Amino acid sequence: MTSQPSQKSGSIEHYDAVIIGAGVSGMYALHHLREMGMSVRVYDGATGIGGTWWYNRYPGARVDGPGSPHYCYTFSKELMQEWDWAETQSKQSDVLDYLEYVADRFDLRRDIQFETWVEDVRYDDAAQRWTVETSTGVRASAQFMICAVGALSMTNMPNIPGIHGFAGECYHTGNWPHEPVSFEGKRVAVIGTGSSGVQAIPEIAKEAEHVTVLQRTAQFTFPAGNRPLTAEEVADARANFDSNIEKMHANDGGFPVDPSPERSAFDDTPEEREARYEALWQRGGFGFFHGLYSDIAITEESNQTLSDFVRKKIRETVNDPETAKKLLPDHFVITKRPILDDGYYETYNRDNVTLVDLRDDPIERFTETSVITASGEHPIDILVLATGFDAISGSMLRLNPKGRGGVSLKEKWNERFHNYLGMAIGGFPNLFMIHGPGSPGVFYNMPLGAERQMGWIGQCMSHLREKELGAIEPTTDSEEAWGNEVSGIADFTLFPRTDSWWTGANIEGKPRYFTAYLGGSLYYQRIADVASNNYEGFTFEPVHGIDKQI
């Protein structure tokens, strides 16, 4: 591909592509487009690379999915041979060290501008280019706009009376300070018992004088089973790099795991089922979910066999029966994002931890020095908000690009997050999302997902350049059909029936429906087919000024 070198014209810089976000996805997008010979600029509001791994530095933060050594990039065999992962569930600082290493190894920083918030992104119909205004005054224009803004980066701040008047320290897990936070001798309240809260609470409790956990929804959590990787595992990952990648591509979650045979929970006797759950529980880790019956997320009856098992574990683990009762979840297990923990339920056996069930004892307000619930006042020094994110669509809506005719994304997405293939949006030509709504995103190994989506996007860009086309965007019909496909797959499962950040139910006023593509590896087949079918579902526009038959 011929590159259009970046150049300054007046106060505006011109690139082939602008990437917003220097996290896992944006870093790969930069590398990939540079390899294609494009001029690229990345903007990020943080002072360093890493995105989610830059911001989420709370105590206990670790990879809580299928972990190392396969939560990483696969584009470079050498990189895989060079990097030593220490544990199965890498801690946040290890993942960030890895990303720093990647940034240095592939000389990424020279094309990234940090501490720069993109404040306006606007399509210029006549020029067929995007223009970008930033917080530092730098302006840029590019033919292609890559939004690598993160599926879990727009923090959800609870709107509770008096919270802004609380005079103690207050931290959100998704925007944790870089300086160490000391909990020693402090009375701490934590709101939120999702993955972040469940990872942070046991660590905070080890240090604090007292921890009050303010729980809105009891959660199912599973033993993380974190342990050092063995030399054999590391050697195996290196020696079998190619075959592992093949397996990862075939696997529905993007990990080198052989597909489990189709088997209902009721194909086993209750005793066999119990033994299976127990063995998975003892082993721990995300493998728990790979080892489950294939109908666990499909039928209520199968789901109940597992939820009964975990409820029994909670009762066995937590000494105080009243506390144990408050911890028993009542939704379908795994239909909220499964959580991996390291001694979460055990933490409630400590004398310095109190659980408040907000369903029975709701928060009324904050004062300067306390949180007041229906049952009384809890004096606190530190408030930790583990309240999650306006996930999947929130960071795109915060960016709020303005497409054709100045129509904003907020206008386009006021009821549904219309898009095609989870990557492209009608009325927003040449703009691509990574891990956006309608993609497997948060249900897939995210570094690998970013690589695979970016591969498709790069191919699409090459197609435009080779055919001398100026713009591509999806049709309304293809967006509607894609939305139906995404919902149709989800409706086959129990996932949409539970309130979760997957369904947008955690954010007041957000359209409530399940937006992730649950078809696993089928997604990559679907997008490949669209490309090989001359980008079926898209419309093209010639380069303005060129009279061309498309």
> Which of these ranges, 194-202, 238-246, 478-486, 515-523, lies near ligand N01 under the rule CB under 6 A?
194-202
Compose the 326-365 pattern: x for residues touching ligand N01 by CB under 6 A, - for all others: -----------x--------------------x-------
Q: Please list the residues that pair with 20 across neighbouring strands.
A: 43, 147
- For residue 146, the 8-state DSSP code is E
Residues 410, 397: Cα–Cα separation, whole Å: 6
Q: Please list the residues that pair with 327 across neighbouring strands.
A: none
Does position 435 interact with ligand N01 (CB under 6 A)? The reply is no
Does position 393 interact with ligand N01 (CB under 6 A)? The reply is no
Of 216, 273, 326, 402, the residue at the interface with ligand N01 (CB under 6 A) is 216
Does position 387 interact with ligand N01 (CB under 6 A)? The reply is yes
Of 306, 386, 489, 516, the residue at the interface with ligand N01 (CB under 6 A) is 386
- For residue 228, the 8-state DSSP code is B
> Which of these ranges, 27-35, 192-200, 369-377, 509-517, lies near ligand N01 under the rule CB under 6 A?
192-200
In angstroms, what is the minimal distance from the CB of 260 to ligand N01?
A: 22
In angstroms, what is the minimal distance from the CB of 93 to ligand N01?
A: 11
Angle at 363 between CA 361 and CA 369, to 5 degrees: 125
Question: How far is Cα of residue 144 from the mean position of the Cα atoms in its chain?
Answer: 23
Nearest residue to ligand N01 on Cβ basis = 194
Does position 388 interact with ligand N01 (CB under 6 A)? The reply is yes
Of 96 and 472, CB closest to ligand N01? 96
In angstroms, what is the minimal distance from the CB of 499 to ligand N01?
A: 7
Of 18 and 102, CB closest to ligand N01? 102
Query: Peptide bond preceding 69: is omega within 30 degrees of 0, i.e. cis?
Result: yes
Interface of this chain with ligand N01, residues 154 to 173, rule: CB under 6 A: 156, 158, 173
Does position 506 interact with ligand N01 (CB under 6 A)? The reply is yes
Does position 510 interact with ligand N01 (CB under 6 A)? The reply is no
In angstroms, what is the minimal distance from the CB of 410 to ligand N01?
A: 22
Does position 501 interact with ligand N01 (CB under 6 A)? The reply is yes
The three-class DSSP label of residue 182 is coil
Of 134, 196, 226, 430, the residue at the interface with ligand N01 (CB under 6 A) is 196
Residues 310, 277: Cα–Cα separation, whole Å: 9
Compose the 298-317 pattern: x for residues touching ligand N01 by CB under 6 A, - for all others: --------------------
Compose the 57-76 pattern: x for residues touching ligand N01 by CB under 6 A, - for all others: ----xxxxx-----------
**Residues with Cβ < 8 Å from 418, sequence gap 6 or more?**
412, 425, 426, 476, 479, 480, 483
In angstroms, what is the minimal distance from the CB of 248 to ligand N01?
A: 18
Residues 85, 71: Cα–Cα separation, whole Å: 10
Of 16 and 390, CB closest to ligand N01? 390
CB 67 within 8 A of CB 87: yes
In angstroms, what is the minimal distance from the CB of 197 to ligand N01?
A: 5
Q: Please list the residues that pair with 14 across neighbouring strands.
A: 7, 141
10 Å CB burial of residue 408 (0-12, 13-18, 19+) is middle
End-to-end CA distance of the chain: 20
Question: What's the alpha-carbon Rg for the chain, to the nearest Å?
Answer: 24
Binding footprint of ligand N01, residue count (CB under 6 A): 30
Q: Please list the residues that pair with 228 across neighbouring strands.
A: 87
**Residues with Cβ < 8 Å from 176, sequence gap 6 or more?**
55, 56, 57, 58, 61
Q: How many residues does the chain have?
A: 550
Residues 104, 361: Cα–Cα separation, whole Å: 51
Of 298 and 358, CB closest to ligand N01? 358
Q: Where on the chain is the footprint of ligand N01 (CB under 6 A)? A: 56, 61-65, 152, 156, 158, 173-174, 191-197, 199, 216-217, 337, 358, 386-389, 442, 501, 506
